[in-house]
């Protein structure tokens, strides 16, 4: 474990103590329902330009370096770490011994040290409570969060005054000048995303649910595609809403909490999440309050308003935090152009294509600096910012898992239909997408007679019992066929152009 000065560390603080400290010293407030509400200043999302991985003998040939995974030298990392330790001695920090990975075989210990009391409450909500001092945790990591420590870009050779640094050799994560709590969650997810493939485990940016028959469904998707909302289904139990590993034994959650987007949250559309955000252990982040009442329709702070809560405040939560081998794998794509079918059954090769492409629209992006306008994006593995290795590594593991499990992969459009976002289309209501998922999970979609539509040669149902009001061929929902073909061709070309980056690599489309 990285060496930390322990003289100013506070161990074992009760939730009540941390809550009171946040209220008195960190500008936190309580809502009318006694829920802690905080703000994070100018940065209301992840600072992608401020994320670094130490480039050393362990990582230099194993990380896909670039703008997402920016390198920092071991020497410079050590200089910044020593500055952090000097700063840490001047402030009181709170400590918990936690773990990421709800699997005895693949769990990772992490000692979370936070300058903010509410950050400590956050990691206790999101990570798994455990004891980092047992023999199980000889490989224990250190996560040190110091929002009050600002860097000197010219001296520290960083992009800004803030930074997130991952050091795999010394098993440490350092966050400086970052108040947005999601940075801590995604930092440890990135650590597991680097380590798990070496053990044959596929780490996934996905939700996981279980049905009455113990059938497991995975929901892949970027923020805004509906992953968390759709996983909070009244008819299914929740394993987790965001981060999982898929091993030969089945699926396990990497965390033990949810970090739900709250924009336009309502009881009618998302009753489980509505219930969760009113529980006393929940933390509301960047949510506008009016006389102590959250206004989830007010985006004046940010559209990326969040609620962080432990899984067990959700009705219908899988106690084991894990499940069997998945039967259904669903890629959620929020199609900006309105030309993807509501649901498609993918072949294995098509699954690799859409997994590597990761096409969707940025809707209320979680990243700092992203324009407020809805725009298309390609994010390999449906979460490129969190995956240190090359996309082909994760795609190869997905291929292996789908082949061995015989799981069926689907593409579901949670975006626009009957027109593009910019051409009078309408976004698919969450209730309609829930109906499609139920038809996937009970086998109606797979059993339906298929038709092949679009240049992507997608197999879609001709009709599905109980879904009579859905046009499965997207062209049939457009009044202007010339406009449909124009937007269709734009998306097809964009996807084909994006896939060119993988043309000179190992062929994942080879014969099975």
Tens of pLDDT, residues 401-441:
999 999 999 999 999 999 999 888 899 999 999 999 999 99
Coil, helix or strand at residue 318: coil
- The average confidence (pLDDT) of the chain is 92
CA torsion sign, 181 to 188 to 100 to 14?
negative
**Three-state secondary structure readout of 184-209:** HHHHHHHHHHHHHHHHCCEEEEEEEE
Contact 430, 226 (CB under 8 A): yes
Q: Which residue out of 31, 103, 228, 379 is catalytically annotated?
A: 228
Q: What is the per-residue pLDDT for 9?
A: 83
Question: Any idea how long the chain is?
Answer: 512
HSE-up (13 A, CA, CB side) for residue 338:
26
Coil, helix or strand at residue 302: coil
User: How many C-beta atoms surround the C-beta of residue 12 within 10 A?
Assistant: 9
Q: Which residue out of 83, 179, 185, 306 is catalytically annotated?
A: 306
d(CA 460, CA 48): 37
- Per-residue pLDDT tens digits for 463-495: 999 999 899 999 999 999 999 999 999 999 999
Superfamily holding 9-27+47-179:
Phosphoenolpyruvate Carboxykinase, domain 1 (3.40.449.10)
Q: Which residue out of 172, 186, 244, 311 is catalytically annotated?
A: 186
User: How many C-beta atoms surround the C-beta of residue 11 within 10 A?
Assistant: 9
Residue 508 has pLDDT above 50, yes or no: no
Kindly indicate whether the domain formed by 202-256+321-502 is annotated with CATH number 3.90.228.20: yes
Q: Which residue out of 21, 119, 227, 288 is catalytically annotated?
A: 227
d(CA 402, CA 404): 6
Q: What is the per-residue pLDDT for 424?
A: 86
Residue 131 has pLDDT above 60, yes or no: no
Closest CA to 57 of 208, 168, 222, 206: 168
Closest CA to 322 of 238, 430, 233, 248: 238
Active-site annotation holds for 485 = no
Closest CA to 28 of 287, 313, 299: 287
Lowest pLDDT segment from 144-148, 334-338, 508-512:
508-512
Q: What is the per-residue pLDDT for 506?
A: 44
Q: Which residues of 62-92 are buried (b: 16+ CB within 10 A; e: fewer)?
A: ebeeeebbbebeeebbeebbebbbebbeeee
Write the DSSP symbol of residue 334. Answer: -
Radius of gyration of the chain from Cα atoms? 22
Over residues 280-306, mean pLDDT: 96
Q: How large a percentage of the chain has pLDDT more than 90?
A: 87
Q: Which residue out of 47, 130, 223, 433 is catalytically annotated?
A: 223
Closest CA to 197 of 168, 174, 222, 172: 168
- Per-residue pLDDT tens digits for 250-286: 999 999 999 999 999 999 989 999 999 999 999 999 9
Active-site annotation holds for 306 = yes
How far is residue 284 CA from its own chain's centroid? Answer: 18
Closest CA to 255 of 386, 119, 127: 127
Over residues 234-258, mean pLDDT: 96
CA torsion sign, 349 to 352 to 355 to 359?
negative
Confidence of residue 129 (pLDDT cuts 50, 70, 90): confident
Q: Which residue out of 21, 43, 46, 311 is catalytically annotated?
A: 46
Q: Measured at the alpha carbon of residue 71, what is the angle toward residues 65 and 76, in degrees to the nearest 5?
A: 170
d(CA 1, CA 311): 29
Strand partners, 322: 252
Residue 367 has pLDDT above 90, yes or no: no
Contact 123, 142 (CB under 8 A): no
Strand partners, 111: 97, 142
d(CA 224, CA 365): 7
Closest CA to 318 of 102, 488, 131: 102
Domain residue extents for the chain = 9-27+47-179, 202-256+321-502
Active-site annotation holds for 186 = yes
Write the DSSP symbol of residue 108. Answer: E
Write the DSSP symbol of residue 136. Answer: G
Which of residues 369 and 62 earns the better pLDDT score? 62
Q: What is the per-residue pLDDT for 349?
A: 96
- Per-residue pLDDT tens digits for 310-364: 999 998 999 999 999 999 999 999 999 999 999 999 999 999 999 999 999 876 5
d(CA 70, CA 75): 15
Strand partners, 435: none
Lowest pLDDT segment from 13-17, 129-133, 283-287, 453-457:
129-133
Helices then strands, counting H and E runs in the chain, come out as 12, 31
Q: What is the per-residue pLDDT for 3?
A: 57
Q: Which residue out of 205, 281, 311, 401 is catalytically annotated?
A: 205
Active-site annotation holds for 46 = yes
Residue 135 has pLDDT above 90, yes or no: no
Q: How large a percentage of the chain has pLDDT more than 70?
A: 93
Q: What is the per-residue pLDDT for 507?
A: 44
Confidence of residue 243 (pLDDT cuts 50, 70, 90): very high
């Amino acid at each position: 474990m990285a060496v930390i000065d322990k003289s100013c560390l506070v161990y074992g603080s009760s939730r009540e103590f941390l809550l009171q400290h946040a209220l008195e010293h960190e500008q936190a407030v309580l809502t009318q329902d006694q829920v802690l509400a905080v703000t994070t200043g100018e940065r209301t999302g992840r600072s992608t330009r401020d994320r670094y991985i130490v480039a050393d003998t362990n990582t230099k040939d194993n990380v896909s370096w670039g703008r997402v995974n920016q390198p920092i030298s071991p020497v410079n990392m050590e200089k910044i770490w020593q500055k952090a330790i000097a700063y840490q001695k001047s402030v009181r920090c709170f400590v918990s011994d936690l773990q990421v990975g709800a699997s005895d075989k693949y769990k990772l210990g992490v000692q979370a040290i936070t300058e903010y009391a509410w950050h400590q409450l956050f990691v206790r909500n999101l990570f798994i409570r455990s004891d980092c001092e047992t023999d199980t945790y000889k490989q224990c990591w250190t996560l040190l969060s110091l929002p009050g420590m600002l860097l000197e870009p010219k001296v520290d050779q960083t992009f800004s005054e803030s930074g997130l640094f991952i050091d795999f050799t010394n098993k440490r994560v350092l966050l400086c000048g970052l108040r947005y709590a999601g940075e801590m969650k995604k930092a440890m997810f990135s650590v597991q995303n680097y380590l798990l493939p070496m053990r044959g485990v596929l780490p996934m940016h996905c939700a996981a649910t279980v049905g009455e028959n113990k059938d497991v469904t995975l929901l892949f998707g970027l923020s805004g595609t509906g992953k968390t909302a759709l996983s909070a289904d009244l008819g299914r139990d929740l394993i987790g809403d965001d981060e999982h590993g898929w091993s030969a034994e089945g699926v396990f959650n990497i965390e033990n909490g949810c970090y739900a987007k709250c924009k336009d949250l309502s009881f009618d559309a998302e009753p489980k999440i509505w219930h969760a955000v009113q529980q006393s252990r929940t933390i509301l982040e960047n949510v506008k309050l009016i006389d102590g009442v959250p206004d989830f329709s007010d985006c004046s702070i940010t559209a990326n308003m969040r609620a962080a809560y432990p899984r067990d405040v959700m009705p219908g939560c899988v106690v084991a935090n894990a499940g069997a081998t998945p039967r259904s794998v669903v890629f959620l794509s929020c199609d900006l152009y309105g030309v993807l079918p509501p649901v498609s059954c993918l072949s294995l090769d098509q699954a690799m294509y859409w997994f590597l492409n990761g096409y969707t629209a940025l809707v209320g992006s979680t990243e700092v600096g992203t324009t407020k306008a809805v725009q298309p994006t390609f994010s390999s593995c449906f979460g490129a910012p969190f995956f240190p290795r090359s996309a082909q590594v994760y795609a190869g593991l997905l291929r292996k898992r789908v082949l061995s499990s015989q799981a069926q992969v689907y593409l579901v459009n949670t975006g626009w239909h009957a027109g593009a976002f910019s051409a009078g289309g309408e976004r698919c209501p969450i209730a309609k997408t829930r109906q499609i998922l139920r038809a996937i999970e009970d086998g109606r979609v797979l059993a339906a007679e298929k038709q092949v539509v679009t240049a992507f040669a997608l197999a879609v149902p001709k009709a599905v019992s109980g879904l009579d009001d859905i046009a499965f061929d997207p062209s049939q929902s457009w009044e202007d066929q010339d406009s449909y073909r124009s937007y269709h061709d734009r998306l097809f070309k964009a996807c084909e152009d994006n896939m060119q980056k993988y043309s000179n690599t190992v062929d994942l489309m080879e014969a099975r």
